[in-house]
Amino acid sequence: MSFSGGMDSTSVLIRLINEGYMIDCVSFNYGQKHKIELEMAIKNISYLKEKGYTITHKIVDLSSAMSLFHSSLTKDEITVPEGYYEESQMKNTVVPNRNAIFSSIIYGYALSIVAEEDTDVKIALGVHSGDHAIYPDCRPEFYRDLEISFKTGNWDSERVEFYLPFINGDKVTILNDAVKSCEGIQVDFDTIFSNTITSYNPDSKGRSSGKSGSDIERILAFHKLGRRDPIEYVDTWDNVLKNALNTEKKYKDEDYRNRLTEIQYDVTRNSATEHPFTGQYWDEKREGEYLCICCGKKLFTSEMKFDSGCGWPSFFSEDDGANIEQVEDRSHGMYRVEVKCSYCDAHLGHIFNDGPINNGGKRYCINSASLDFRED
């Protein structure tokens, strides 16, 4: 597996231990400014060995070759940008062709293990969906096509395959998985993750800045899990969390204003209500799925929709994975229960107890402006 010393690859490592694999870790010194991640990798390997787990670890030096590449991660004269991790300015943290180079080396190593030990090999990587916007070499199609090329150009390639457990997940998915893996192999979660670093611009003492895009993404993930990040930051946890939340809010607000119509923005971000019988979907009869207009999360299906006569789309249930948040609402001199998207905090509408009795008696009264419809 490729083991950088960051939280993603560390989560893959403990997952592999929990799944019972024999593990060979390969780390790369590619001239990265945050070379402290290699020290962290060594610390966690040592900790896991103390716990009785056998892991082979090699560090490959590519610093000379990759000094040719243009990136803020390797060039002192290029400043690592601060801000939200999906902002376009984060593209200067891309190291050209990095993952293709790393994967090529690991694939060759995997084929060598096949030849020497007569065994099948999986190449495990910690790439995930949070990287997809900025890093093209973290996308599913990249690894699909890369694997095709490797299989075309090598003997015995049928015995090697990529293992990408988080390719469609995000940092929260990764941390949730890590919690389970730590429990499974009986190691301390905070110890493991205190021996990781995600920051692209740590200070001279190795403390994370809390301001780079990678920092922001990590801080928000720990916050969503209700946990405090065990690594040391330049500032206090409360301050780096506040900065991360404000950075996310600013970026997403700008994004919503650019993407949404006036009524969609007003409803989802300012908790407004569209007039009855005016929304796009109040009388929608087609079969399909209803998604959050802001983040695309699946909320309802057409099978849950019914005609309540109220003038807004009505549903008697929510999708199993929606986890719609319910919040007490005492605005306008009334007592109601507001429903919000749990992923992006978008206002959807309200929930009432006057729905179909045979279907549980609930009525999700939802603004059309908060929904996107995808026909089956």
Interaxial angle between packed helices 36-50 and 7-18, expressed in degrees from 0 to 180 and rounded to the nearest 10: 20
pTM for the complete prediction?
0.83
pLDDT value of residue 104:
98
pLDDT value of residue 132:
74
Asked if residue 248 lies in contact with residue 202, where contact means CB atoms within 8 angstroms, the answer is no
Which CATH code fits 273-375? 2.170.150.20
Say which CATH class 7-190 falls into.
alpha beta
pLDDT value of residue 321:
87
Q: What distance in Å separates the CA atoms of residue 107 and residue 123, rounded to the nearest whole number?
A: 7
- Token reading at 279: 């929304």
Task: Give the 3-state DSSP-derived string for 130-148, with helices as H, strands as E and coil as C.
Answer: HHCCCCHHHCHHHHHHHHH
Q: What is the pLDDT along the chain (376 residues), one digit of tens a residue?
A: 999 999 999 999 999 999 999 999 999 999 999 999 999 999 999 999 999 999 999 999 999 999 999 999 999 999 999 999 887 889 999 999 999 999 999 999 999 999 999 999 999 999 997 787 899 999 999 999 999 999 999 999 999 999 999 998 889 999 999 999 999 999 999 999 999 999 999 999 999 999 999 999 999 999 999 999 999 999 999 999 999 999 999 999 999 999 999 999 999 999 999 999 999 999 999 999 999 999 999 999 999 999 999 999 999 999 998 989 999 999 989 999 999 999 899 999 999 999 999 999 999 999 999 999 999 9
The DSSP bridge partners found for residue 288 are: 375
- Token reading at 178: 């890590």
**What phi, psi does 127 have (nearest 5°)?**
-65, 150
Contacts of 364 (CB under 8 A, 6+ apart): 300, 314, 315, 316, 317, 318, 324, 339, 348, 349, 351, 355
Fold match flag (7-190 vs 273-375): no
pLDDT value of residue 192:
98
DSSP for 266-310?
Answer: HHHHH---PPTT-STTTT--S-EEEEETTT--EEEEGGGEE--SS
pLDDT value of residue 168:
87
pLDDT value of residue 242:
97
Bridge pairing between strands 23-29 and 55-61 = parallel
Q: Where are the domains of the chain?
A: 7-190, 273-375
The DSSP bridge partners found for residue 305 are: 315
Q: Is 160 helix (H, G, I), strand (E, B) or coil?
A: strand
